[in-house]
Amino acid sequence: MKILGIETSCDETGVAIFDTESNSIVSEQLYSQASKHAKYGGVVPELASRDHLKKLIPLINLTINESGFSLQELDGIAYTAGPGLRGPLLIGASTAKAMALSLNKPSIGVHHMEAHLLINLLENPAPSFPFLTLLISGGHCLLINAKSLGVYEIIGQTLDDAVGEAFDKVAKILDLGYPGGPKIEALSNQGNSLAYDFPRPMTNKDNFDFSFSGLKTAVYYEYKKIDQISESQKADIAASFQEAVADTLLSKTRKALENTGLTELVIGGGVASNKYIRDRLVTGLSNKNIFFPTIERCTDNGAMIAYAGSHYLKEVEEDFSLNIRPRWPLSEFNNG
C-alpha cells in the first residue's frame, strides 16, 4: 500500500508517501512557516491557514513526482484530524478528502500525537509494544503507557504549560525570537547550566504529572532582577532553564518506568529534537532501551502522518464530512 500523508496542524506543511511494501517513506516534503510568524512571537492561526493553502498542493505535487508513483497508484490519503489549529486542520482535511473523492480512494484522519508516537516504529531498531512514551511538544507533555496499537493509557500530563510552550515563553522573555526551543538550545551551549537554581516542578510529588508554568515564572523573576542583561547572562539563564526541564523530565520518566515495570522508552514531539535533553535521558536511563525518531522527525512532518495512516487505512469507510477535532485528548482516542 502507498499512503500519502498530509500534516497541517500548526505551522508546518508536511507531505510524504509511505510504502508498506518497502516499509519506508519513499518521498517527503516539508515547509516551515516559522519565519512568517516570528515577528508576532508565535503562530497566527489565520496566517498559518493562508500559507498552508498556498503551499499544500505544490508540495503534494512535488512529493508525488519525487516518488515516481502516479496519483492513481496511491491507496489512500491520511491527514491530521487533530489536535491542532482549526483553520490549518480544515485545509489538510478538505484537501485529503477532495483527493480521496476524485481518486476514489479512502482517506483517514490521524491523531497528531499518536503519529508522533508511532513514527518511532519506523526506526531501526524499533520498539515493540508495550512501551512507555514521553511526548513533549508545543502543546503537550504526556507520559503514556502504550499497550498496543491504538491503546494508550495516559499516566501523566502537564497541568498547565506544555514543555515546548515553556521553551517558547522563556525565549520570548529573553527576546530570542520564535520558535523558542531551538534558540534556547543553541544559546544554552554557551551558558553555565548551574548559574541559576530554577525549580524542578513537581519532582517530589508521587505522581507522573508535570507543571512548567511556575518554572517559566521563576525565569521571568530572575530576568527582571537584572538591570542590563548581558549575552552571557542570557546564556546562563537559558542553560539553567534547559537543565531544570531536563532534570524534571528525567525524574518523572524514571519514576514512570519503575512504576510500570516497562523497559522500553519511546520519546517524540518537537522538544525531543533537543540534543541536550536527549543526552540527559539516555545517560540518566542507561539501563533502559530508549528510542527517538531522527531529529527531523521529532518536529511536525508528513512522514509521521502517512505512517500512522497506514495502520488504520484498511478499517476506514469513506465519510466526506470534515470531521476535524482541534481539541482531541489522546485519552479520548482508543482504537483497541
The Cα 302–Cα 116 span in angstroms is: 11
* Bridge partners of residue 144, in order along the sequence: 133, 154
5 binds, among Zn ion, ligand KG4, none (CB under 5 to 8 A by kind): none
* Shortest distance (Å) from residue 335 CB to ligand KG4: 20
The Cα 13–Cα 58 span in angstroms is: 11
- In eight-state DSSP terms, residue 149 is T
Segment holding 235, helix H or strand E: helix 231-260
Residue whose C-alpha cell reads 525549580 in the numeric block? 199
Is position 137 an interface residue for Zn ion (rule: CB under 5 A)? yes
Restricting to residues 127-156, which ones interact with ligand KG4 according to CB under 6 A?
137-139
Nearer to ligand KG4, 150 or 177 (CB): 177
Nearer to ligand KG4, 87 or 270 (CB): 270
107 close to 97: Cβ distance less than 8 angstroms: yes
Interface segment toward ligand KG4; rule CB under 6 A; list 39-47, 48-56, 163-171, 259-267: 163-171
* Shortest distance (Å) from residue 81 CB to Zn ion: 13
* Residues 155-179: b if buried by 16+ CB within 10 A, e if exposed: bbbbeebbbbbbbbbbbbbbebbbb
Is position 269 an interface residue for ligand KG4 (rule: CB under 6 A)? yes
The phi and psi torsions of 159 (rounded to 5 degrees) equal -90, -15
The Cα 228–Cα 222 span in angstroms is: 12
Nearer to Zn ion, 114 or 222 (CB): 114
Is position 174 an interface residue for ligand KG4 (rule: CB under 6 A)? no
95 binds, among Zn ion, ligand KG4, none (CB under 5 to 8 A by kind): none
The phi and psi torsions of 210 (rounded to 5 degrees) equal -120, 165
211 close to 251: Cβ distance less than 8 angstroms: no
Interface segment toward ligand KG4; rule CB under 6 A; list 38-46, 141-149, 270-278, 315-323: 270-278
Residue from the set 274, 292, 302, 312 that interacts with ligand KG4 by CB under 6 A: 274
* Chain positions contacting ligand KG4, by CB under 6 A: 10, 137-139, 164-165, 167-168, 179-182, 185, 269-271, 273-274, 299-300
